[in-house]
């Protein structure tokens, strides 16, 4: 096979498929073990300094913020974060001092809400290094490769671009068509958090709405922490096996944390909390503001429940339920500024 | 145009005109890969006017929605309103790669004469950027694999450049045949650029950006002043048809908070 070109980016999260098989043999088991624990235990047990971390969900959608806040609280350090469209989560982890490297598909921005001061400051000052570029489609195919147990996935993205030049991919001559094809290295992240609406105590998960790339990411993960709105009976799972999106045998921890994706959107349950996101966007414009925000919302509370009370409790969640169902108007500080 | 006319406040804004112009590119019974902001409005507008059976696809997983209100994000539940499927990124990126997507929308901080786009960094070097931007997101995927891409962005001399500093998303790279040589699908590439000043296409032979129509009240000089490369300007350039008052009312209905269209 002829290699035509090689990206200069750092190869992150790649493992020889045989090495990964061995890791699975040594560390995973389909035994029916009750995996319920609290977020403090899950994070201290399964997240190590220096890990390659990916958060399930996408952007501000269905991201395990219970996991994000706890990693910051426990002062996890030197993480390599996969910016598979990681924005608010990435921003907070950077603000919390947890991140040293990023592989970026989409980060340091908040879509319509604007660019991220905290993430940009860190990259522009050199505090955080972008070690490789990739595309969103490319990232999820890296996880597909990791899930499939193969070393790479051939694709037709990134060809001809500088995104490829700064990626960890390679271009070869396709032995069938003779045309250039981009090989994306597979990725098995050290640790992944996925927030779901329902799962049983063994980790069998049902997910409503779009899957984004969580089907592939869950199966590619070495350590998988599931945070869930509620824990349901195993019988419910077995009565509706077609609803299972993540099988429990690949899950390491089940953490029941209602509203655990706040301030991001949870399909059918709650919309983005734009007031909380907006306050972060304002405060994080300065280092001091960032620290202040962390002291109030992360270090100043003992757990997720206390945080939730601080941001408005059940009344706020009822309002966000109504916005999700088109029954209340969206309030967003960044939107008010846009209108002026 | 007399001075009195130029001082009149029209019933539409440049943003309204860009959204409606983008929607006109989208034909009925075709498919489009949609990103956040104006592209969403343009696709929704097309569905509610001339293209009721426009198939809308979002990278995060929604397939074929008939949205009633502008989503904030491409993964927002609003992207699934009356959709035919709530699927996945693998599914939808594969649709694009396999050739099911007619159009894709793109934006950028910089575009060049071949329609290459930069959304990665401005100034400094990649290792030490002056301004770090978000990166590709789904743009490289859309720009690589959708058949025809439509670029919507604000035009300024610093944004319409001869050569982008970083090709985040490929246009025609360095000219005719370059996409195919790089291994990108044949017959794909940018077909339109829509700015607040005019609408541009790409010359069939040279793949260079070419002015196609000029917005009402804009002069050729203004177009030139806001472009840093040698733009192809034909002798007879028609004026862009402005949106109708009903069109503007529909835009406001689709985006009641003014998230993408402003006031």
pLDDT tens-digit readout, B152-194: 999 999 999 999 999 999 999 999 999 999 999 999 999 999 9
Q: Could A130 and B132 be called an inter-chain contact, meaning their C-beta atoms sit closer than 8 Å?
A: yes
pLDDT classification of B3: cutoffs 50, 70, 90: very low
Residue B32 is classified by DSSP as E
**Dihedral sign of CA atoms A284, A288, A293, A295 in order:** positive
Within 8 A by CB and 6+ apart from B40, the residues are B34, B67, B70, B71, B260
Cα distances (Å, whole numbers) of residue B77 to A171, A324, B60: 37, 8, 10
Of A108, A166, A216, the CB nearest to B134: A108
pLDDT classification of A336: cutoffs 50, 70, 90: confident
Q: Identify the residue with better confidence: A333 or B61.
A: B61
- Helix (H, G, I), strand (E, B), or coil: what is residue B152? strand
Residues in chain A with CB shorter than 8 Å from the CB of B132 are 108, 119-120, 123-124, 130
Q: Could A106 and B75 be called an inter-chain contact, meaning their C-beta atoms sit closer than 8 Å?
A: no
**Residue (of B70, B5, B197, A180) closest to B58 by Cα position:** B70
Q: Could B88 and A161 be called an inter-chain contact, meaning their C-beta atoms sit closer than 8 Å?
A: no
Whole-angstrom Cα distance, residue B120 to residue A124?
A: 12
Whole-angstrom Cα distance, residue A250 to residue B55?
A: 36
Within 8 A by CB and 6+ apart from A333, the residues are A274, A275, A278, A279, A281, A282
Can you give the pTM of this predicted structure?
0.97
Type and span of the H or E element at B25: helix B14-25
Percent of chain A with pLDDT over 90: 94
Q: Is the peptide bond before A263 cis (omega within 30 degrees of 0)?
A: yes
Of A59, A107, A160, the CB nearest to B73: A59
Residues in chain A with CB shorter than 8 Å from the CB of B89 are 58, 136-137, 140, 211-213
- Helix (H, G, I), strand (E, B), or coil: what is residue B177? coil
Type and span of the H or E element at B33: strand B31-33
Average pLDDT over residues A85-111: 95
Q: Which residue of B has its CA nearest to A213?
A: B89
Separation in Å, CA of B225 to nearest CA in chain A: 27
Q: Could B141 and A171 be called an inter-chain contact, meaning their C-beta atoms sit closer than 8 Å?
A: no
Of A58, A140, A209, the CB nearest to B93: A140
Type and span of the H or E element at B222: helix B220-225
pLDDT of residue A339: 67
Other CB atoms within 10 Å distance of the CB of residue A340:
5
Q: Which residue of B has its CA nearest to A140?
A: B90
- Contact by Cβ (8 Å): B203, B210: yes
Whole-angstrom Cα distance, residue B182 to residue B131?
A: 29
In this predicted structure, the answer to whether residue B1 has a pLDDT above a threshold of 60 is: no
Residues in chain A with CB shorter than 8 Å from the CB of B79 are 210
Question: Which of B140, B169, B172 to probe by mutation at the A interface, max A CB count within 10 Å?
Answer: B140
Distance, CA of A209 to chain centre = 17
Residues in chain B with CB shorter than 8 Å from the CB of A334 are none
Whole-angstrom Cα distance, residue B7 to residue B141?
A: 43
What φ, ψ does residue B165 adopt, rounded to 5°? -70, -25
Question: Which of A59, A163, A261 to probe by mutation at the B interface, max B CB count within 10 Å?
Answer: A163
Of B131, B141, B260, the CB nearest to A135: B141
Q: Which residue of A has its CA nearest to B95?
A: A137
- Contact by Cβ (8 Å): B33, B104: yes
In this predicted structure, the answer to whether residue B2 has a pLDDT above a threshold of 50 is: no
Whole-angstrom Cα distance, residue B263 to residue B253?
A: 12
Q: Which residue of B has its CA nearest to A61?
A: B75
Query: 């040293």: which residue's tokens?
Result: A100
pLDDT of residue A340: 63
Please state whether beta strands A223-231 and A191-199 pair in parallel, antiparallel, or not at all (unpaired). Answer: parallel
Average pLDDT over residues A28-57: 98
- Helix (H, G, I), strand (E, B), or coil: what is residue B77? helix
In this predicted structure, the answer to whether residue B4 has a pLDDT above a threshold of 50 is: no
pLDDT of residue B5: 46
What φ, ψ does residue A253 adopt, rounded to 5°? -145, 140
In this predicted structure, the answer to whether residue B29 has a pLDDT above a threshold of 80 is: yes
Q: What angle do CA B69, B73, B79 make, to 5 degrees?
A: 50
Within 8 A by CB and 6+ apart from A25, the residues are none
Residues in chain B with CB shorter than 8 Å from the CB of A123 are 129, 132
Asked if A283 has any chain B CB less than 8 Å from its own CB, the reply is no
Separation in Å, CA of B235 to nearest CA in chain A: 34
SS (H, E, C) chain A: CCEEEECCCCCCCCCCHHHHHHHHHHHCCCCCCCCECCHHHHHHHHCCCCCEEEECCECCECCCHHHHHHHHHCCCCCEEEEEECCCHHHHHHHHCCCEEEEEEEECCECHHHCECHHHHHHHHHCCCEEEEECCHHHHHHHHHHHHHCCCEEEECCCCCCHHHHCCCCEEEECCCCCCEEEEEECCCCCEEEEEEEEECCCCCEECCCCCECHHHHHHHCCEEEEEEEEECCHHHHHHCHHHEEECHHHCCEEEECCCCCCCCEECCCECCCHHHHHHHHHHCCCHHHHHHHHHHHHHCCCCHHHHHHHCCHHHHHHHHHHHHCCCCCCCCHHHHHHHC
Q: Could B135 and A138 be called an inter-chain contact, meaning their C-beta atoms sit closer than 8 Å?
A: no
Whole-angstrom Cα distance, residue B242 to residue B188?
A: 29
**Residue (of B240, B138, B143) closest to B190 by Cα position:** B143
Q: Could A119 and B138 be called an inter-chain contact, meaning their C-beta atoms sit closer than 8 Å?
A: no
Specify whether B59 is catalytic: yes
Surface of A (18-57) touching B: CB under 8 A: 57
Q: Could A160 and B120 be called an inter-chain contact, meaning their C-beta atoms sit closer than 8 Å?
A: no
pLDDT of residue A114: 84
Q: Could A135 and B73 be called an inter-chain contact, meaning their C-beta atoms sit closer than 8 Å?
A: no
Average pLDDT over residues A33-60: 98
Give ipTM to 2 decimals. 0.96
**Residue (of B175, B197, B203, B101) closest to B142 by Cα position:** B101
Question: Which of A91, A160, A329 to probe by mutation at the B interface, max B CB count within 10 Å?
Answer: A160
Asked if A271 has any chain B CB less than 8 Å from its own CB, the reply is yes
Average pLDDT over residues B92-104: 98
Question: Which of B77, B129, B164 to probe by mutation at the A interface, max A CB count within 10 Å?
Answer: B77
Task: Convert the pLDDT of each residue in A140-166 to its tens digit.
Answer: 999 999 999 999 999 999 999 999 999
- Catalytic residue, from B3, B7, B59, B239: name it: B59
Task: Convert the pLDDT of each residue in A269-296 to its tens digit.
Answer: 999 999 999 999 999 999 999 999 999 9
Q: Which residue of B has its CA nearest to A123?
A: B132
- Contact by Cβ (8 Å): B149, A148: no
């Amino acid at each position: 096979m002829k290699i035509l070109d090689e990206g200069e980016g750092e190869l992150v999260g790649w493992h020889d498929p045989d090495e990964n098989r061995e890791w699975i043999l040594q560390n995973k088991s389909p035994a029916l073990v009750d995996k319920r624990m609290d977020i403090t235990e899950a994070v201290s047990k399964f997240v190590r300094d220096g890990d390659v971390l990916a958060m399930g969900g996408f952007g501000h959608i269905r991201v395990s913020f219970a996991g994000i806040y706890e990693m910051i609280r426990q002062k996890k350090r030197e993480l390599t974060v996969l910016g598979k469209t990681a924005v608010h989560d990435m921003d907070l982890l950077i603000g919390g001092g947890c991140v040293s490297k990023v592989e970026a598909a989409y980060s340091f921005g908040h879509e319509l809400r604007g660019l991220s001061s905290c993430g940009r400051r860190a990259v522009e000052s050199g505090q955080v290094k972008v070690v490789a570029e990739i595309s969103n489609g490319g990232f999820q195919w890296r996880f597909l490769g990791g899930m499939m147990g193969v070393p790479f996935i051939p694709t037709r993205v990134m060809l001809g671009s500088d995104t490829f030049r700064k990626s960890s991919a390679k271009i070869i001559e396709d032995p069938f068509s003779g045309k250039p094809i981009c090989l994306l290295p597979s990725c098995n992240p050290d640790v992944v958090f996925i927030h779901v609406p329902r799962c049983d105590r063994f980790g069998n998960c049902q997910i409503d709405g779009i899957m984004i790339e969580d089907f592939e990411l869950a199966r590619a993960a070495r350590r998988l922490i599931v945070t869930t709105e509620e824990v349901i009976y195993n019988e419910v799972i077995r009565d509706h096996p077609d609803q299972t999106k993540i099988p429990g045998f690949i899950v390491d921890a089940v953490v029941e944390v209602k509203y655990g994706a706040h301030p991001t959107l949870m399909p059918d349950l709650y919309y983005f909390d734009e007031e909380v996101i907006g306050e972060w966007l304002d405060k994080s414009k300065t280092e001091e503001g960032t620290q202040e925000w962390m002291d109030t919302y992360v270090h100043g509370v003992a757990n997720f429940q206390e945080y939730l009370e601080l941001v408005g409790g059940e009344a706020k969640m009822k309002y966000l339920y109504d916005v999700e169902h088109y029954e209340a108007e969206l309030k967003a500080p960044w939107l008010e500024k846009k209108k002026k | 145009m007399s001075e009195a006319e130029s001082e009149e406040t029209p019933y539409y804004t440049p943003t309204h005109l860009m959204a409606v112009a983008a929607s006109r590119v989208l034909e009925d019974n075709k498919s489009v890969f949609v990103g956040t902001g104006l592209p969403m409005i343009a696709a929704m507008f097309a569905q509610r006017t001339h293209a009721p059976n426009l198939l809308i696809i979002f990278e995060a997983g929604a397939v074929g929605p008939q949205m009633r209100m502008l989503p904030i994000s491409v993964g927002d539940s609003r992207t699934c309103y009356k959709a035919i499927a709530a699927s996945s990124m693998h599914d939808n990126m594969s649709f694009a790669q396999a050739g099911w997507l007619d159009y894709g929308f793109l934006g950028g901080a910089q575009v060049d004469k071949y329609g290459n786009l930069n959304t990665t960094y401005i100034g400094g070097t990649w290792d030490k950027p002056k301004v770090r931007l978000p990166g590709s997101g789904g743009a490289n995927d859309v720009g690589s694999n959708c058949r025809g891409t439509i670029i919507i962005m604000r035009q300024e001399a610093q944004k319409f450049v001869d050569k982008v500093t970083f090709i985040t998303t490929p246009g025609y790279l360095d000219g005719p045949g370059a996409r195919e040589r790089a291994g990108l699908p044949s017959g794909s590439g940018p077909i339109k650029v829509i700015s607040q000043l005019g609408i541009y296409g790409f010359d069939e032979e040279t793949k260079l950006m070419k002015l196609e129509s000029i917005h009402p009240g804009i002069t050729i000089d203004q177009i030139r002043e806001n472009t840093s490369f040698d733009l192809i300007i034909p002798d007879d350039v028609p004026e862009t048809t402005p949106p109708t008052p009903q069109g503007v009312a529909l835009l406001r209905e689709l985006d009641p908070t003014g998230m993408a269209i402003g006031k």
